[in-house]
Structure 1
Amino acid sequence: MVTGNFGVQMVMLKGEIEEQGIYNTLKKVRKLGYKFIEVANFPNIDNLMELRRVCVYLGIEVASLGTVVEPLILNESRTLLINIEKIVVDCQKLNCNLLQIPILSPHAFIDDEAVQNFFYHVDDLAQKLLPMGITLYAQHVHRQSSMLEELSWLNRIYNNTKYLHFGLDIPGYRQGCENLTTYSKAYEGRVAVTRIKGLDYDYSKGIDVGATNENYHLNSILDACTASGPKFFFIGQEEPYRNDAFTCLALTAAKLKQLGFLNWFN
């Protein structure tokens, strides 16, 4: 069995960071056995160096940073099309070689030409970043729409790009997991990371998830995903939250270890 690494989606700790600060928050994350973090929202200039200092001190690694391709708001400059050099420098400062962009919904494009331009731009950026040691990946985020529709859109992006990688989001229900497992095998070599939901609650059943985790099929999912290339699996929460973030992370770590993934923690 290929070994991966469990990490934490920092977006689930936004409230904790605001209340307790980045040091105290990450100290608790490290104490729970998690060494890697995903920073989906790109750090601003003021807190980037603080994040670096805290991570070095606590022995935490920023495995993935997030950015956008084009400005989403007026005068936004920290985008790949405007300031790719600066973003690369920031990644290098944090020793991070994974850069995440969101996958836009197909409904966000006005016509097919806009879709093709999107494919061209992101794949060109991905090709430019590779010699710099950075893998650009588009993060799939499961929504409440049809899973088959989501995967069809993913498949179209995959077939129209060559260098762009993917982050897959595993929802906590059977049909979606089985479909996504199939797709992760098909995308072998181009899956950068995988996101999984916290195991403190099964939202499809409304009951606690047992240690055997039969509904979630987690063992087969992780086997398929590791075979596809990623070594990072970031844990997050799904609203409405049943537990606070740290309780979710603690219960999830305990159940993952019960399932045989002890060596995926550091």
Structure 2
Amino acid sequence: MADMGVQMMMLKDQVAEEGMYPVLEKLKELDIASVEVSQIPMDEENTAALKRGVRELGIAVGALSVALKPGPMANSDNLQEHYDKIVADCRRLGVNFVRIGMMPFDAMVSLEATETWAAEVGPWADKLAADGITLCYHNHHVDLHKYANGERIFDVVRRVAPNLQFEVDLHWVQRGGMAPLDMLKEYSGVCRLIHVKDYRVTSLPQEAMDLFTEGRVMEGYDKFVNIIEFAEVGQGNMNWADLLPAAQAAGAEFFFIEQDLTYGRDPFDCIRDSREYLASIGW
């Protein structure tokens, strides 16, 4: 069974305030088996604390985040400038996966732009594979966009960079208009990491009603169609009892609970709720 872990992006403020190891201790108490590190500096202090967490708490580091190259979206080590450090960190922590969280926005605007980006990232996947590390690409809803030739962005990446594997965020698949079970079936074999994140539709906000009352119908309608939230697992509309076995069958080795926004709740409470629900359905 794949490990049930947490995407540490949820806890970046807590790591900055309390330190990495105390946060890992709290996660251990919540029955979290692994972590994926994102939006947290992989400096010596944090890396040493992660190593201590592996050794003393038994929490695996399932994946590290990397960027392809320096730029405004690169909030982690990048392959172009920090390749040797990334490999060293992986070996030090026993990590087999690194992941790119998003392609640049300018790579999403056309088929040719996506092909260019995929052709650039592909050799890095090959180089990392030679060092025993698997490079994965994490999707958002835009990756389900179809170009005029019928290919989704995901399809283009898979065609141009066949050694690049995928980290599938099931919430974003749902938001992108593809049934998550269909996605897992279609891309079976390359879905190595999974973000376990629920999809919640909220109630109609008062702001929308006020706009309708004022006769600003289209503005109110815009509020009406954008009532989607990131939810604690089990508090949204996704069928996890079917999705998780399907994800494992598609090749997943790690599941990471993630909730991009917690809407004022303590993220540890959100993680606790998600973990308890997942345990209740056998995970």
SS of match in other structure, 1:229: coil
* Normalised TM-score (structure 2): 0.77
More relative contact order, 1 or 2 (CA 8 Å, 6+ apart): 1
Residue aligning to 2:216: none
Structure 1: which 5+ residue stretches go unaligned?
262-266
Structure 2: which 5+ residue stretches go unaligned?
204-228
Residue aligning to 1:29: 27
Structure-2 change in CA distance of 1:186 and 1:77 (3 Å): closer
1:192-243 CA distance string (max 9 Å, x none): 2010126xxx621459x99987831112211221111012110111325252
SS of match in other structure, 2:196: strand
CA RMSD of aligned residues (A): 3.3
Between 1:177-186 and 1:249-258, the stretch displaced more is: 177-186
Between 1:244-253 and 1:36-45, the stretch displaced more is: 36-45
Matched, 1:12 2:10: yes
For this pair of structures, how many residues does the alignment match? 253
Residue aligning to 2:160: 160
Q: Mapping of 1:1-266 within 5 angstroms?
A: 3-41=1-39, 43-72=42-71, 78-104=77-103, 107-108=106-107, 114-142=113-141, 148=145, 152-171=152-171, 179-197=179-197, 203-205=200-202, 215-241=237-263, 243-261=265-283
| Paired letter, 1:104 | M
Structure-2 change in CA distance of 1:216 and 1:172 (3 Å): farther
Identity level (%): 28
Instruction: Return the index of the structure with the highest Cα Rg.
Output: 2
Please say if residues 173 and 204 of structure 1, whose CA atoms lie closer than 8 Å, have aligned partners that are also in contact.
no
Give 1:133 deviation, angstroms.
1.4
* Normalised TM-score (structure 1): 0.81
Structure-2 change in CA distance of 1:140 and 1:214 (3 Å): closer
Between 1:35-44 and 1:177-186, the stretch displaced more is: 177-186
Query: Partners of 1:134 and 1:172 in 2: how far apart?
Result: 25
| Paired letter, 1:117 | T
Structure-2 change in CA distance of 1:242 and 1:182 (3 Å): farther
Please say if residues 188 and 250 of structure 2, whose CA atoms lie closer than 8 Å, have aligned partners that are also in contact.
yes
Structure-2 change in CA distance of 1:240 and 1:210 (3 Å): closer
